Structure 1
Amino acid sequence: MDLQRLATASRLANIDAFHVMELAKQAAELERAGRHIIHMGIGEPDFTAAAPVIHAAEAAMRRGVTQYTGALGIHALREAIAGYYKTSYGIDVPARRVIVTAGASGALLLACAVLVEIGAEVLMPDPSYPCNRHFVAAFDGHAKMIPSGPEERFQLTAAQVIEHWGENTRGVLLASPSNPTGTSILPDELKAILAEVRKRQGFAILDEIYQGLSYDAPPVSALSLDDNVVTVNSFSKYFNMTGWRLGWLVVPDSLVPAFEKVAQNLFICASAVAQHAALACFTPEALAIYDERKAEFRRRRDAIVPALEALGLRVPVKPDGAFYVYANCRHVNHPAAGNADRLTQAILHDAGVVMVPGTDFGPHTANDYIRISYATSMQNIEEAMQRLHHFLR
């Protein structure tokens, strides 16, 4: 009996496949065949949850706090996040504006559900994390990708907002520091962008999930510049809790009821165990661990950037946050130079190192750039650089 072939929603045509995951799949096949592969593709810390967080999760399960929580999150965690903004950023954020979510992805889905109208245009830089434009597409909006090169730090600028804001534009979706580039928006530029958006009565969604991993200057949250922004953060990156699927939003007071209504319907709540465990993230013991790990990430960045440059992989803007390097591959000594997709395939199959082509992050830098994640050990980084040296020689 033939099964009926069901039609999919037309919006899927606006959502591309994720090349990062395709390369990871190929790498897994090579490993099953006996190859030793060094993974510098997926943006996941090699550190796992800190011991105090593990102990807190165990205690929460023993106490039986595993049932639904309120859609906005447990009060104690919302208070702890508000306190974190005060101690880390010097910002007074009322706990009532904090919404605990099922990861930063859940936070971005909620933000787009609340703010993106059908047909609405949202400005973002090219390159950007691919899922950001797909969150917009999921709610029948349109992500307008603005080419942003080294001169703009691969970020959107206030001048570009002025130039590209059109009749259907409703807001901007930005990330600072950014995936894939590791670059942040400088504070004066961010302030100017927010001023232009407010002038046009638009919304600004700021992905700040890598702010805890800022290396060269104290991070500046958009919340210190404008109360009307919606900021997204996460326990995945700085707090090393990727699989726990826990994040948060800070939203304007007037939007809290709307976010709560949508969260109740789409998610009910974030994981109860993860929420109780995350309370331990803000203890002095855990924060000391995160500071040590941040210093290690910075040490890796300071090692890998000059190593890549020496191989002909040019880094036009030194990353000041996250754990990525966005390197220009046009001038490397290889037949696939200037074709990032072919080059990363060759690096994987010939050198046994996973790196990601710019293809995922937007057409402007698709061919010339590759993203390298240094969320792996120094030993792996050194071995990968040796393999690349032989590969490119």
Structure 2
Amino acid sequence: MNLNQLAARLQHIAPFHVMELSKKAAVLEQQGRHLIHMGIGEPDFTAPPAVVEAATRAMTEGKMQYTSATGLPQLRAAISDHYRSVYGLEIAPERIVVTAGASAALLLACAALVERDSEVLMPDPSYPCNRHFVAAFEGRAKLIASGPEHRFQLSAQMVREHWGSATRGVLLASPSNPTGTSILPDELRAIVGEVRQRGGFTIVDEIYQGLSYEGAPFSALSLGDDVVVINSFSKYFNMTGWRLGWLVLPPALVPQVEKLAQNLLICASSIAQHAAVACFTPQTLALYEERKAEFKRRRDYIVPALESLGFTVPVMPDGAFYVYADCSALADDADQLSLDMLNEAGVVLVPGLDFGPFTARRYIRLSYATSMENLQEAVARLRVFFEKRRKAA
């Protein structure tokens, strides 16, 4: 194939820079090095026994055919009931579209709402795939520098200042990857108001909403039926490889997204859908809450531990399982520091480069989705690493 025939949109979709770090880590492990991985955003917990049993039962009973493009009715009803019991919201099951992970949900939302050359506002730093979904539909992600004073999130004032003639909407994440910070409810309400006033769309990625550690449960769905919300079974529900998520849509948008799903995806895995119904039993939800408490315990350990090493954590992460730490007091370049920590200490962390240029060189992202023992061992290794650097300076 002549590479000149490739679609021009590929030029606007960058690879994960962190994959180069992962390749180096794999080489070290092949050489016999023991590494502690704190880069991957994946729970170390797996699907609860009831969920696995439901999947086994579905296969045994032959429930492996295509489902509706919008998902199993019983799963959509279970998600609706969950919104009622946890958030006090009445979300009609008909507004819920089950997808092949949150990635497919973002794909469908952008396919429905992003036009060629239209702009979508999002914060810098933010999860890189979000801007790449926009680019895939020939839109442009407009990254707005957001520091700790704004919790690394967009504000209503930023929306007012940066909304232009080509702007079509905003894509937010609360809590966020890489920062673990949420948009405060009043600020999110103001953002939605600004976007609504301009006739735009608001997409809110809430895949970490179940892992919020402070305050009462809150969803952007409480701000109006015109807000598009994305969620997933990967994080709170510990089902990463099952590839299952969902969209909550304005009623008028459901048939349009259903049409897209029928053509692009057919449906999410039927086995994963049957299994996911078991996520919402009282016993399984109680287990998820225990695991959530364990994530919070890890957060409460790792943040002061990082600060004792010389990192600065300017905003306490209130959700997800990430810490976004300023390393500028320790090194001039987060990329090089990440490589040095990998090679010398055997600790894998993610530099800020993937998440946008504003914080790229001075921040690292740490995932505490690993055992407390691993976190403690990583801190011990890093303490030795930085002591050696100070002595050598």
TM class by shorter-chain length? over 0.9
| Deviation (angstroms), 1:4 | 5.2
Equivalent residue pairs, number: 387
**Within 2, Cα distance between the matches of 1:34 and 1:218?**
46
Q: Are the equivalent residues in 2 in contact too, given 1:232–1:249 (CA < 8 A)?
A: yes
Tell me which residue corresponds to 1:291. 289
Does the 8 Å contact 1:329/1:368 carry over to 2? yes
Alpha-carbon displacement from aligned partner over 1:317-371 (angstroms, at most 9, x marks no partner)? 0000000000000002xxxx13111110111111101100000000000001000
Aligned partner letter, 2:338: T
Q: Distance in 2 between matches of 1:69 and 1:29?
A: 42
- Does residue 144 of structure 2 align to residue 150 of structure 1? no
Q: Which runs of 5+ in 2 are unaligned?
A: 388-393
SS at match of 1:128: coil
Task: State the Cα distance separating 1:7 from its structure 2 match.
Answer: 2.9
Alpha-carbon distance, 1:92 to partner? 0.3
Q: Aligned runs of 1:2-151 on 2, under 5 Å?
A: 5=3, 7-151=5-149
Where 2:63 maps in the other structure, the secondary structure is: coil
Kept in 2: contact 1:20–1:42 (CA 8 A): no
Contact in 2 for aligned 1:24/1:41 (Cα 8 Å): no
Superposition deviation, residue 389 in structure 1: 0.4
Q: Does the alignment pair 1:374 with 2:365?
A: no
The secondary structure found in structure 1 opposite 2:323 is strand
| 2: CA distance, partners of 1:117 / 1:196 | 20
Distance 2:296 2:49 in 1: 22
Measure the CA separation in 1 of the matches of 2:293 and 2:246: 24
Cα RMSD for the two superposed structures: 0.8
Whole-angstrom distance in 2 between the partners of 1:153 and 1:100: 31
Name the residue aligned to 1:217. 215
Q: CA deviation at 1:5?
A: 4.9
| 1:140-162 per-position Cα deviation (integer Å, ceiling 9, x unaligned) | 00000000000000000000000
Instruction: Please name the residue that 2:334 is paired with.
Output: 340
2-structure distance, mates of 1:372, 1:338: 18
Q: Which residue of 2 aligns with 1:351?
A: 345
SS in structure 1 opposite 2:319? coil
- Following superposition, the deviation at residue 6 of structure 1 comes to 6.0
What is the CA–CA distance in structure 1 between the aligned matches of 2:368 and 2:22, rounded to whole Å? Answer: 16
Residue in 2 aligned with 1:385? 379
Q: CA separation in 2, counterparts of 1:178 and 1:162?
A: 21
**Partner secondary structure for residue 363 of structure 1:** coil
What stretches of structure 1 move > 4 A for 4+ residues in a row?
Answer: 3-6
Residue 364 of structure 1 aligns to a residue whose secondary structure is coil
Could you tell me how far apart the structure 1 residues matched to 2:118 and 2:99 are? 24
One-letter amino acid matched to 1:386: A
Equivalent position SS for 1:84: helix
Partners of 1:351 and 1:387 within 8 A in 2 = yes
Verify the 8 A CA contact 2:124 2:356 in the aligned structure 1: yes
Which ranges in structure 1 are unaligned for 5 or more consecutive residues? none
Matching residue's letter, 1:305: V
Q: Distance in 2 between matches of 1:311 and 1:182?
A: 20
- Percent same amino acid at aligned positions? 67
- The one-letter amino acid paired with 1:387 is R
CA distance in 1, matches of 2:199, 2:60: 49
Find the residue that maps to 1:185 and give its secondary structure.
coil
For the residues of structure 1 that align with 2:380 and 2:352, how far apart are their CA atoms? 23
Structure 1 CA distance, aligned partners of 2:21 and 2:57?
38
Asked if 1 retains the 8 angstrom alpha-carbon contact of 2:229 and 2:248, the reply is yes
Name which of structure 1's ranges 338-347 and 180-189 shifts more when overlaid on structure 2: 338-347
TM-score, length-scaled by structure 2 = 0.97
Conserved 8 A contact 2:86-2:217: no
